[in-house]
Amino acid sequence: MLSKDQLKILVARDGGEAIEVARNSCAQAMLLDVNLPKVNGFEVLKIVKGEEATRQIKVAMLTARQAEIDIVRAFSLGADDYVVKPFKQLELVARLSRLLGD
């Protein structure tokens, strides 16, 4: 869906891979689900925003979890945006464009 909007997409299958992608790429933004295998999205967010080399990456949480406590937790850990599934494609693209400064 996003690749047709001329964005280069890197995919991680679990939280551990997401951390490695963040550390080893020049990513400007990441879409991060809370419910990830191995390392959950909150932990990935905490690590990404806590490391000097990756803290500039804009992180949008994209998850089915819509409880206020989850949203507040994500923002307190440094999330730049929070999108609840199901989502609208144009809205997601607009949010990513805003994060990327386009």
What are the tens digits of pLDDT across the range 2-52?
665 567 889 999 999 999 999 999 999 999 999 999 999 999 999 999 999
Q: What pLDDT is stored for residue 3 in this prediction?
A: 61
Q: What is the pLDDT of residue 16?
A: 97
Residue 102: what pLDDT?
65
- Render the chain in DSSP notation, one character per residue: --GGGT------SSHHHHHHHHHHS--SEEEE-SS-SSS-HHHHHHHHHHSTTTTTSEEEEEES---HHHHHHHHHTT-SEEEESS--HHHHHHHHHHHHT-
pLDDT digits (tens, 9 = 90+) for 68-94: 999 999 999 999 999 999 999 999 989
pLDDT of 6 reads 65
3-90: CATH topology is Rossmann fold (3.40.50)
Return the amino acid letter for 99.
Answer: L
